[in-house]
């Protein structure tokens, strides 16, 4: 598998926050989603990738080039970035003026592509940026980030403020952008449905640390809640494969959560535990479970 | 192109397996004709809300079985399925289901004759339902 981004031992110490050490490899040709609670360091990772902030330690390599050694201006032409918070510095400009300005820095700017995106997102380019609604501005940011057909697209909570129709358009535009198989998206998102629809890989980030990177379908298939009936006797739940928790729910019933569904079901059968029903966990529940495990790990 | 594949999210069977079984059935039954262009990996992943890794695995498996072929740069097509292979695939799903039925019979100690009678009985009922459904609808 080819690599789009490689972070090695990244540490960033700030008075109120510590990031790292982060080791992360983002594969080329896939959509990778970073999910984590507010303030977990997602945006800091983006800033390190773009050399907008310097890590105290470690190295970042993007599209085969080391970041931060020189000014990487050629590298940045190959990247599109939608920051979490839009800059207001050019708010007095019309959208078309902002586009004309940005275009100067990107020789690969594709005017037809730009027009097509304006049409798809229904943006009036003669409008001043200041006059745009939050959602409209978000759509325009995305258009600006994609008009030079970048090899790597970095999206920091791209859909915040989008209405459901614009949201669907965004999902579709990103899917089409990825269709060639050569391009890479790294996105941070809180929207579970967005991650489910777009991501191939999922990275969990909590308290400035990476808790793991998973292939999305495998992850969703492996976390399950089992509603069980243990009948007579006792069950040592901690020995269940992928044990996360087991909760007594009355009578002889237990609700058990596992991160290895298939093995756990086999184990239940071998223990004489009847599985009454089961349910897959949603991504946010998996995140919550991982945060709990991390807390227990830190405490012990 | 829309492909009628339905995923059961609560099923114990992994997603790639569910997709593979259904896609294979569509090809072997001829519902997807030889030479049909399949959606790109990203497109099918979008439709089924799964990752491209899962779809790539399915396409790879079916290509290895000779049911699909990929032409560099143009896409993935349904390959020519020989009659012999079609027959093997056509029968294998049925045989698998029958094996499961026989296992169920053995568990409750059915005799061979009992099971054969049941099979004939089920067949008769189903055939009647199909023909009455075809004439007037239910």
CB A145 within 8 A of CB A130: no
- Verify that A236 and A120 share a domain, yes or no: no
Question: Which of A175, A185, A200 should one mutate to test binding to chain B, selecting the residue with the greatest count of B CBs within 10 A?
Answer: A200
**A165 plus A63 within the same structural domain:** yes
Contact state of B53 with A217 under an 8 Å Cβ cutoff: yes
Would you call A265 and B12 a contact, using CB atoms and an 8 Å cutoff? yes
Q: What is the DSSP letter of B69?
A: E
The residue that leads in pLDDT, A59 or B71, is: A59
Chain A hits for B16, Cβ within 8 Å: 217
Residue B138: predicted pLDDT:
39
Specify the range with the lowest mean pLDDT, choosing from A46-55, B5-14, B49-58, B123-132: B5-14
Say if residue B94's pLDDT is above 70: yes
Residues A273-283, mean pLDDT to the nearest whole number: 90
The closest of A30, A149, A7 to A79, measured between CA atoms, is A149
Residue A291 lies in a domain: no
* A95 in a structural domain: yes
Decide if A280 touches B, using CB distance below 8 A. yes
Partner B, chain A 189-208, Cβ-Cβ below 8 Å: 196-197, 199-201
What are the C-alpha distances in Å from A156 to residues A44, A63, A141, A189, A253?
Answer: 10, 19, 11, 7, 43
Residues B35-91 pLDDT 10s = 999 999 999 999 898 999 999 999 999 999 889 998 887 889 999 887 777 787 778
Q: Is the pLDDT of residue B12 over 80?
A: no
Same domain, A195 and A229: no
Residues A213 and A242 in one domain: no
Residues composing chain B: 138
More confident residue, B90 or A170: A170
Q: What percent of chain A has pLDDT over 70?
A: 100
Residues paired with A274 in a beta bridge = A229
Q: Is residue A203 part of a domain?
A: yes
Q: Which residue of A has its CA nearest to B54?
A: A217
Question: How many folded domains does chain A comprise?
Answer: 2
User: A196 CA to chain B: closest CA distance, Å?
Assistant: 7
Burial class (CB in 10 A: 0-12, 13-18, 19+), A1: exposed
Whole-number pLDDT of residue A71: 80
What is the pLDDT, as a whole number, of residue B9? 76
Which pLDDT does position B80 carry in this prediction?
85
Residues of B with CB under 8 A from a CB of A: 9-10, 12, 14-16, 40-43, 45-46, 49-54
> Which residue from A minimizes the CA distance to B39?
A179
Residues A52 and A127 occupy one common structural domain: yes
Asked, as a colleague might, if the bond just before A56 is cis with ω within 30 of 0, I would say no
The answer to whether A261 contacts B14, with C-beta atoms less than 8 Å apart, is no
ipTM: 0.79
- Give the nearest chain B residue to A177 (CA atoms): B42
Q: Is residue A296 assigned to a domain? A: no
Work out the average pLDDT over A117-130: 96
Q: Look over chain A and give the mean of its residue pLDDT values, rounded to a whole number.
A: 93
Contact A294, A287 (CB under 8 A): no
Q: Domain range holding A257?
A: 224-280
> In terms of Cα–Cα distance, which of A5, A14, A45, A6 is closest to A204?
A45
Task: Judge if A246 and A157 occupy the same domain.
Answer: no
A179–chain B Cβ distance below 8 A for any pair: yes
Give yes or no: residues A125 and A244 share one domain.
no
> Is A253 found in the same domain as A189?
no
Enumerate the residues of chain B whose CB falls inside 8 A of the CB of residue A278: 10
A295 in any annotated domain: no
pLDDT of A99: 96
| Angstrom distance (rounded) from CA A33 to CA A185 | 8
Asked whether residue A235 is domain-assigned, the answer is yes
> Average pLDDT over chain B, rounded to whole?
86
For residues A19-27, give the mean pLDDT: 94
Name chain A contacts of B45, Cβ cutoff 8 Å.
200
Assigned domain for A87 exists: yes
Both A175 and A86 in one domain: the answer is yes
Q: Are residues A134 and A15 in the same domain?
A: yes
> What is the CATH number for A119?
3.40.50.300
- Among A187, A203, A218, identify where a domain stops: A218
A34 and A117 housed in the same domain:
yes
Residue A213 distance to chain B (closest CA, Å): 14
pLDDT band at B136 (very low <50, low <70, confident <90, very high): very low
- Looking at residue B136, what DSSP letter applies? T
CATH number for the domain running over B15-78:
1.10.10.10
Q: Are residues A30 and A160 in the same domain?
A: yes
Question: Residue A25: what pLDDT?
Answer: 97
Phi, psi of B20 (to 5 degrees): -60, -45
What pLDDT, on a 0 to 100 scale, did the predictor assign at position B133? 65
């Amino acid at each position: 598998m080819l690599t789009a981004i490689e972070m090695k031992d990244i540490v960033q110490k700030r008075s109120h926050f510590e990031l790292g050490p982060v080791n992360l490899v983002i594969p080329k040709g896939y959509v990778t989603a970073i999910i984590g609670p507010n303030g977990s360091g997602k945006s800091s990772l983006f800033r390190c990738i773009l050399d907008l902030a310097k890590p105290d330690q470690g190295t970042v390599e993007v599209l085969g080039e080391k970041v931060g050694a020189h000014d990487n201006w050629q590298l940045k032409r190959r990247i599109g970035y939608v920051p979490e918070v839009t800059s207001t510095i050019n708010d007095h400009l019309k959208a078309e003026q902002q586009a004309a300005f940005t275009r100067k820095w990107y020789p690969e700017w594709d005017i037809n592509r730009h027009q097509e995106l304006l049409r798809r997102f229904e943006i009036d380019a003669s409008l001043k940026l200041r006059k745009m609604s939050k959602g409209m501005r978000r759509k325009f940011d995305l258009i600006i980030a994609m008009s030079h057909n970048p090899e790597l697209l970095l999206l920091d909570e791209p859909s915040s403020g989008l209405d459901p129709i614009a949201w669907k358009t965004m999902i579709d535009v990103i899917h089409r952008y990825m269709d060639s198989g050569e391009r890479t998206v790294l996105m941070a998102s809180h929207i579970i449905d967005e991650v489910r629809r777009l991501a191939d890989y999922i990275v969990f980030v909590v308290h400035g640390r990476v808790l793991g990177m998973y292939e999305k379908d495998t992850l969703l298939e492996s976390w399950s809640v089992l509603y069980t009936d243990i009948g007579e006797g006792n069950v040592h739940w901690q020995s269940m494969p992928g044990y996360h928790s087991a909760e007594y729910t009355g009578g002889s019933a237990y609700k058990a959560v596992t991160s290895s569904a298939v093995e756990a079901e086999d184990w239940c059968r071998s223990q004489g535990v009847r599985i009454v029903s089961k349910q897959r966990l949603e991504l946010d529940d998996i995140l919550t479970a991982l945060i709990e495990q991390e807390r227990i790990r830190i405490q012990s | 192109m829309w492909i009628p594949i339905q995923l059961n999210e609560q099923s114990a069977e992994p997603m790639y397996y569910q997709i593979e079984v259904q896609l294979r059935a569509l090809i072997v039954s001829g519902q997807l004709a030889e030479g049909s262009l399949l959606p790109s990996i990203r497109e099918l992943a979008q439709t089924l809300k799964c990752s491209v890794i899962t779809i790539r695995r399915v396409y790879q498996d079916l290509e290895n079985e000779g049911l699909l072929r990929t032409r560099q740069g143009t896409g993935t097509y349904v390959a020519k399925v020989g009659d012999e292979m079609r027959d093997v695939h056509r029968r294998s799903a049925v045989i698998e289901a029958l094996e499961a039925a026989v296992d169920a019979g053995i568990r409750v100690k059915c005799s061979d004759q009992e099971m054969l009678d049941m099979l004939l009985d089920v067949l008769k009922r189903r055939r009647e339902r199909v023909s009455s459904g075809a004439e007037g609808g239910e």
